[in-house]
Chains A and B, each alone.
Chain A
Amino acid sequence: MDKWKDNKAWFLVLPVFILVAFSAIIPLMTVVNYSLQDIFGPGQRVFVGTEWFQEVLSDKRLHDALWRQFLFSGLVLLIEMPLGILIALMMPKKGWAASVSLVLIALPLLIPWNVIGTIWIIFTRPDIGLFGAAINSLGTAFDHTARSSDAWITLMLMEVWHWTPLVVLLAYAGLRAIPEAYFQAAKIDGASTWATFWYIQLPKMRGVLTIALLLRFMDSFLIYAEPFVLTGGGPGNATTFLSIYLVKIAVGQFDLGPAAAFSLVYFLIILLFSWLFYQVLQNVGKGEKA
């Protein structure tokens, strides 16, 4: 075959390969090595086999954190994906209004993650925060540091405010890339707004929505900085997500072995779900073309 004759293109891939090796593959190998040993310090380690995996897999607190994490990511996707598409559909298509709305929509994405947490701490404070004070003036005692339901509401609001813009931007880009001819054809056929959306816009957005879904799932599943700053995992353990619990084990207690085993389980969960989402979204509607 011809493509094997000229292999110079492989050199262009080399920098990425080296970068990935140093940023992902070598650290991952180190984590695998750590997960089978009890590490006391540099050069002091004992091989313990699968002991850490047994410990981690039977850890009740980890199970709780895992369900909490699934609930959080599930809610995030259920709210952000439809909301993002809806906003993208309502945005102006061209002219200065389109530019202005794009900039306004993208603003939350520019704020560093730990600052987001701080902003929302102040925003939801019952005494000086606009949101907290407003809710309290209605007669409901709102306090995200004391009630777990309030902590969840605050976290969800923060997450939706912070990350829906990403879905909007991707969906908007997907919508703008649809040729005008499709809409003209739909108009001639007398298609309703809903039919146009369901049979033209949504299928044409499949690629960008796949990326949006994967990014939002992975990011929300790995969330750390925002709940750490906002609630610190509390009240109690109400918002202790997987990464917060992981950091407690690894940095707080310096149990590198269990933390490494935990990280690998975490990694495998993300790998499985990302792959499943990818497969589902790539195969949706494929049968219709035939």
Chain B
Amino acid sequence: MTTTTEARRPAAPPAARTNKTQRHSGRGRALVPAHVLAWLYALLLVIPLYYVVVSAFKTNGDIFAHPFALPTSISFDNFSTAWSRANLGTALANSVLITGTSAVLTLALAVPAAYGLARARGRLGTAVERLFSLGFLIPGFAALVPTVLLAIAVGLFQTRIFVILFMPATALPLSVILLTQFMRTVPPELEESATLDGASRWVVLRHIYLPIAMPGIATVTILNLLNFWNEYLFTLILGGPSPSVRTVQVALPTLVSQTSTDYGVLAAGTLVTLVPVYVAYILLSRQMEDALLQGAVKS
């Protein structure tokens, strides 16, 4: 396509070509600071990751003596020690269960709610949407004590089920608001014609709204997965310390000792907990980037 356009275009005179080259060159020079800043930013992100990776193969002595040096040998002893000491296998299973179930539950509640709000025309819809927005105003700590009391009252304190029920409650405001905005981009005419063809509300949601809002759903999913996976305070307090219930984020600090922490083992354990998050991001990143791109084009 580009070639055809270029072929039809009359050749630029030499002076114009020179100007264009100068313009490109000037633009290139103008972009140098941006490139430098971008690389610096990338470096800032990579340095801590590099530090954790190399530390996972070192002893405490090496970590403190040569923090950024490459390990002198590659041994996976720190990984196996972290795995057994923190019971990471069970903890990973708990994290996957809690994170996955909570994410599914959040979508199951947020998608219909967002669909309803996106199509609502009356004041009630606006009021409900604002109600969801109010969820942002509640600080986490403010919810902690009532939540603990609630868990105790319903007899679900220090259980996985309460954590699974609690997580979606924290994620719903953002999920609903984001998905509502995505669903508003669906032309009403599509829904009207489908309805005229006899499609039910469910069919409209399933076959029209969901495919179009898929980048938004992916974005919400990945944000929720990251939040649920990394959640520490609430899972520590609401889930409790039992090795059979605790998540990786609660299990990992058991590798920390006030008097003598083995930082190589801790770094190895940290890497193990990062892998599932990284995999989830890889799987959903394309959809998330599409969503961001959509937002950029619209704006």
Q: Do A and B bind each other?
A: no
